[in-house]
Chain A
Amino acid sequence: MMKLVPRLYYFYRRAWKRLAIFSAIAGPGIIVMVADNDAGGITTYAVTGSRYGFNLVWLVVLFAILAYFVQEMTVRLGAVTKRGHAEAIFDGFGPFWGWFSLIDLTLVNFLTLVTEFIGMVAAASIFGIPPLLTIVASVIFLTVLVASGTYWTFERITLVFCLLNLVYIPAAFLANPSWSEVTRSIVSPSFPAGLTAGLLTLIMANIGTTIAPWMLFFQQSAVVDKGLDEKDIPYSKIDTALGSMLTGLGAAFIMIATGSTLHKIGVNITEASEAALALVPFAGQYAGALFAIGLFDAGLLGAICISLASSWAFGEVFGWAHTLNVKVKSSPWFYLFYFLNVALAGAIVLIPNVPSVLITLFVQVVAVTLLPAALVFLILLLNDKELMGPYVNTKLQNVIDWAIVVAVIAVSSLYGISTIFPDLLGG
């Protein structure tokens, strides 16, 4: 019917055009997912890899898929309602839950921000950069990044940093892992040496870093700020899926890098920066350097997204202009809040002997109180036919989403409790 050459030309042009549209719409999903591998995340994966080798690689791949289903809901909610998550909770569930979520979010975000700075400082110090310089430079960069007055600028620059997250792939290759073992772990998932208490804690930590409250708030607000519409939802879903693939890939390769070296030798680490240093004798200084660059990048990305998530949420609730598309002069409160967040968190890290263990503990506890509420609200909002129209959750989506939410709530609560009472699981 249609001749071969015109047909090929047509499909080529159509594919090209779709790609162009996708590249214009993509952003929030990739950013939130890659930023999900923040400094804390890198530490968790590195530790997991050093303890259990490749055995848990399948688990992070699975978690990345879970994260897609959760984040995909925020895309639809944002594109349909044109409101951020904080605003949606206020409108849907009243001021009590609204304030509860907002305060919880701000607190947990601030503390997480501190951990990002700790990660960045640790990574920079491997290259001999003093903490003060790292913090000041980062704070200035973070402020300049959002102050351009266009969302687009922020998004495109941040996407470059997302690309940098791929350094773990060459790092893993330098570590020269046994790929057949890696494949075996993914193809036939198993728990090494049974489900011990130590392993359970690590699994819970992995889930905790993969699905975090700020991610829900960030992506929904970003979708709104970008001005995405209902018709952009399919592309936004692909954006999110691509992001979740990248985050799964990143996490897997971190585990492969540490699993093929530190695990083999039996070095146990507790921090990602230790992993970077420990890698040097086994995989060469380049692998260590790549790992350190990745850690710094992860901290930076996390810091950007987390502080923006807080600022958007505050702006939504207090009715400030809360978009990156206006100049600093036009929405001073929004930008001031952002700046204070970043600067204060940086300052705290500069305090000598900051109790980082205590902070991590506190983050987990507060997150555990916030995450269930945020997830349940999210699903309830997505089942509101009046609000969502044709984009309401389908039966299948509900089954998957509820299963994930129940599992995540159960596991993260257990994890929160176990961090407060470490003896509970026997160790």
Chain B
Amino acid sequence: MRSTNDQLRGTVWAKRRSEVSVRSNQIREHILKASLGPNKTARYLFLSEVVDKKVQTQSGVTVGKLKDLVIKDEPHYAEVSSIIIERSLGRPPLHVSWSNVVSVTREKTVIKDPPEGKYPEIKHAGDQLLLRDKILDKRILDIEGFDVEVVYDIQLLLVEDKLFVVGADVGRHAFMRRLGFGRIAKSVLENGSKEDIIPWRYVQPLTADLTGTKGDVKLTITREGLKDIHPEDLADILEELSQEERVHLFNALDNEVAADALEATEPRVQREILASTSSERAAQIFTHLSPVQIADIMSVLPRDDSEEFLKILKGDVASKVHQLLSQHDVPASTLAMRCFLGFQGDLTVEEAFTRFRDEARACDVTMYIYVVDNEGHLRGVIDINELLQADPARKLEEIMTRNVVVVAPTTMRADVEALFRKYRFRAIPVVGDSEKIVGVIREKDVFLPEE
């Protein structure tokens, strides 16, 4: 009973399937090579087939029911190190070392007669894991398919006197079997594919070890995997998780990825994530977002929280966000991004490429290059598409579009929106007095997700 409450946490496990095709049988081979001579046999078992079956001693005394298997997690495979036996009438469960187990079958588990009347006590080590309690029926995050699945069963491999964990079964067969329709599944469904079983190597705890110190190796693998997921998919995954899991996953993300994922999630989730994010981290994440995006997120927060976050923003961003939050309609100058690419007209296309590579990374608006003169007056615009197609030797002023659609800093959002609708540009420059370019408004900062 004491152990039962923890397991409700840590419900999500991460898996990586990318290498499955190459290594799907690796664990089996590894185990076979390590411990199997030519004459030995190996037998597959499912966890659901052996738990809740009676446990007897060799002399035939029924001890109780098999409640759980304790595994020791190794980098490539996991081996069962002890078993937990549930006893009737409220007696505390027995914890028996694997060395005392004689056999495990679908009918019953047989253990040795207790030496001196009692089984030696087993100390719980930190790297031990309860297979049924912590993994069975838990959710598993498919990092490649961006999908959340359920561990319906766990495949075990019994080799001579050792029991190994092969992988987590997420397939339809296992699902039917757990619902008690195993026979029907066998006759109706085609044979389960190997893909259904995720090798143990790729099953890693997401919550328990990501922030812990003991799982450093797992941590890097998972982080690498997370980086490759599209922010929109991450957002979906975040929405799928529980609050605690969400925080763990979010903390494992890079600031930039975290920013994109945060922006893409639904308001309720944004609220919950920010509530448990430190202000330092929030400040770092906000540097990857535009004032409009920040204001959008702030608008769903409780007032106290949003004011606190406003404090950590830099002066100019903070005032814009404040303006966006407090006013129904805002002028173009608030919506505009300061960082855009403004090149001189006498640059060649090739030179422009070089500068683009250097500067674009740190910039907010990179789909257009604005051609300016020495004083910063806007002379023309070049779509990045046009630049790519142009002759490298030509000058920018030769290929630029001279008739640029611009807005004044005082133009209100509604009017800016109308322009975007009409011309279908992805960005529109804001031009102040004497045609000086002061910033660029991106399409996504004008059309907010919920509008």
Q: Enumerate chain B residues within 8 angstroms of A231, measured Cβ to Cβ.
A: 5-6
In the complex, what's the smallest C-beta–C-beta distance from A304 to chain B, in angstroms? 17
Whether B89 and A21, one on each chain, are in contact in the complex, defined by CB atoms closer than 8 angstroms, is no
Contact flag A2-B148 (CB < 8 Å), given A9-B175, A10-B137: yes
- The answer to the question of B149 belonging to the interface, with a C-beta cut-off of 8 Å to chain A, is yes
Produce 1/0 per residue, A14-28, CB < 8 A to B: 100110110011000
- The answer to the question of A402 belonging to the interface, with a C-beta cut-off of 8 Å to chain B, is no
Q: Enumerate chain A residues within 8 angstroms of B11, measured Cβ to Cβ.
A: 14
Whether A13 and B137, one on each chain, are in contact in the complex, defined by CB atoms closer than 8 angstroms, is yes
- The answer to the question of A153 belonging to the interface, with a C-beta cut-off of 8 Å to chain B, is yes
Whether A1 and B1, one on each chain, are in contact in the complex, defined by CB atoms closer than 8 angstroms, is no
Whether A6 and B149, one on each chain, are in contact in the complex, defined by CB atoms closer than 8 angstroms, is yes
Q: Enumerate chain B residues within 8 angstroms of A21, measured Cβ to Cβ.
A: 1, 4-5, 8
CA distance A25 to B152 in the complex (A): 26
CA distance A67 to B325 in the complex (A): 47
In the complex, what's the smallest C-beta–C-beta distance from B174 to chain A, in angstroms? 11
In the complex, what's the smallest C-beta–C-beta distance from B146 to chain A, in angstroms? 8
CA distance A393 to B320 in the complex (A): 42
Indicate the size class of the contact surface on chain B: 20 to 34
Q: Which of B7, B8, B150, B236 has the most CB of A within 10 A?
A: B150
- The answer to the question of A264 belonging to the interface, with a C-beta cut-off of 8 Å to chain B, is no
Which residues of B1-49 are within 8 A (CB) of A?
A: 1-2, 4-8, 11
Q: Enumerate chain A residues within 8 angstroms of B152, measured Cβ to Cβ.
A: 9
Whether A2 and B5, one on each chain, are in contact in the complex, defined by CB atoms closer than 8 angstroms, is no
CA distance A235 to B5 in the complex (A): 9
Whether A2 and B240, one on each chain, are in contact in the complex, defined by CB atoms closer than 8 angstroms, is yes
Produce 1/0 per residue, A140-161, CB < 8 A to B: 0000000000111101100000
Q: Enumerate chain B residues within 8 angstroms of A232, measured Cβ to Cβ.
A: 1, 5
Contact flag A1-B237 (CB < 8 Å), given A150-B91, A151-B90: yes
CA distance A78 to B91 in the complex (A): 22
- The answer to the question of B139 belonging to the interface, with a C-beta cut-off of 8 Å to chain A, is yes
Produce 1/0 per residue, A185-226, CB < 8 A to B: 000000000000000000000000000000000000000000
Chain B residue nearest in CB terms to A10: B150
Whether A152 and B89, one on each chain, are in contact in the complex, defined by CB atoms closer than 8 angstroms, is yes
Whether A150 and B240, one on each chain, are in contact in the complex, defined by CB atoms closer than 8 angstroms, is no
Q: Enumerate chain A residues within 8 angstroms of B150, measured Cβ to Cβ.
A: 6, 9-10, 13
- The answer to the question of A422 belonging to the interface, with a C-beta cut-off of 8 Å to chain B, is no
CA distance A25 to B11 in the complex (A): 21
Q: Enumerate chain B residues within 8 angstroms of A14, measured Cβ to Cβ.
A: 8, 11, 137
CA distance A155 to B1 in the complex (A): 15
CA distance A9 to B8 in the complex (A): 16
Q: Enumerate chain B residues within 8 angstroms of A17, measured Cβ to Cβ.
A: 7-8, 137
Whether B147 and A2, one on each chain, are in contact in the complex, defined by CB atoms closer than 8 angstroms, is yes
In the complex, what's the smallest C-beta–C-beta distance from B3 to chain A, in angstroms? 10
Tally inter-chain residue pairs, CB-CB below 8 A.
62
Chain B residue nearest in CB terms to A148: B89
Whether B137 and A153, one on each chain, are in contact in the complex, defined by CB atoms closer than 8 angstroms, is no
Chain A residue nearest in CB terms to B170: A6
Chain B residue nearest in CB terms to A21: B4
- The answer to the question of B346 belonging to the interface, with a C-beta cut-off of 8 Å to chain A, is no
Determine which of B4, B8, B89, B236 lies in contact with A1 in the assembled complex, contact meaning CB atoms within 8 Å. Answer: B236
Q: Enumerate chain B residues within 8 angstroms of A104, measured Cβ to Cβ.
A: none
Overall SS of chain A's interface: helix
CA distance A153 to B6 in the complex (A): 25
- The answer to the question of B239 belonging to the interface, with a C-beta cut-off of 8 Å to chain A, is yes
Q: Enumerate chain A residues within 8 angstroms of B89, measured Cβ to Cβ.
A: 150, 152-153
In the complex, what's the smallest C-beta–C-beta distance from B225 to chain A, in angstroms? 17
CA distance A21 to B133 in the complex (A): 12
In the complex, what's the smallest C-beta–C-beta distance from A325 to chain B, in angstroms? 9
- The answer to the question of A274 belonging to the interface, with a C-beta cut-off of 8 Å to chain B, is no
Which residues of A382-400 are within 8 A (CB) of B?
A: none
CA distance A2 to B233 in the complex (A): 12
Q: Enumerate chain B residues within 8 angstroms of A6, measured Cβ to Cβ.
A: 148-150, 175
In the complex, what's the smallest C-beta–C-beta distance from A151 to chain B, in angstroms? 7
Chain B residue nearest in CB terms to A151: B90
In the complex, what's the smallest C-beta–C-beta distance from A385 to chain B, in angstroms? 23
Whether A1 and B90, one on each chain, are in contact in the complex, defined by CB atoms closer than 8 angstroms, is no
In the complex, what's the smallest C-beta–C-beta distance from A351 to chain B, in angstroms? 39
Whether B5 and A1, one on each chain, are in contact in the complex, defined by CB atoms closer than 8 angstroms, is no
Q: Which of B8, B90, B178, B239 has the most CB of A within 10 A?
A: B90
Chain B residue nearest in CB terms to A232: B5
Q: Enumerate chain A residues within 8 angstroms of B178, measured Cβ to Cβ.
A: 9
In the complex, what's the smallest C-beta–C-beta distance from B25 to chain A, in angstroms? 26
Q: Enumerate chain A residues within 8 angstroms of B237, measured Cβ to Cβ.
A: 1
- The answer to the question of A229 belonging to the interface, with a C-beta cut-off of 8 Å to chain B, is yes
Chain A residue nearest in CB terms to B235: A1
CA distance A167 to B239 in the complex (A): 47
Q: Enumerate chain B residues within 8 angstroms of A150, measured Cβ to Cβ.
A: 89-91
Q: Enumerate chain B residues within 8 angstroms of A156, measured Cβ to Cβ.
A: 90
Q: Enumerate chain B residues within 8 angstroms of A229, measured Cβ to Cβ.
A: 2, 5
Determine which of B7, B139, B147, B239 lies in contact with A10 in the assembled complex, contact meaning CB atoms within 8 Å. Answer: B139
CA distance A17 to B1 in the complex (A): 12
Whether B240 and A1, one on each chain, are in contact in the complex, defined by CB atoms closer than 8 angstroms, is yes
Chain A residue nearest in CB terms to B88: A152
Q: Enumerate chain A residues within 8 angstroms of B236, measured Cβ to Cβ.
A: 1
In the complex, what's the smallest C-beta–C-beta distance from B137 to chain A, in angstroms? 4
Residues of A within 8 A of B (CB): 1-3, 5-6, 9-10, 13-14, 17-18, 20-21, 24-25, 150-153, 155-156, 227, 229, 231-232, 235
Q: Knowing that A1-B237, A14-B137, A232-B1 are A-B contacts, what are 5 other residue pairs whose CB atoms are under 8 Å apart, sorted by A's residue number?
A: A2-B149, A13-B137, A13-B150, A231-B5, A235-B5
- Identify the 5 closest CB pairs spanning chains A and B, nearest first: A152-B90, A13-B137, A2-B148, A231-B5, A6-B150
Residues of B within 8 A of A (CB): 1-2, 4-8, 11, 89-91, 137, 139, 147-150, 152, 175, 178-179, 236-237, 239-240
> What would 24 A/B residue contacts be, using CB atoms closer than 8 Å?
A1-B147, A1-B239, A1-B240, A2-B148, A2-B149, A6-B148, A6-B149, A6-B175, A10-B137, A13-B137, A13-B150, A14-B8, A17-B8, A18-B8, A20-B4, A21-B5, A24-B4, A152-B89, A152-B90, A152-B91, A156-B90, A227-B2, A231-B6, A232-B5
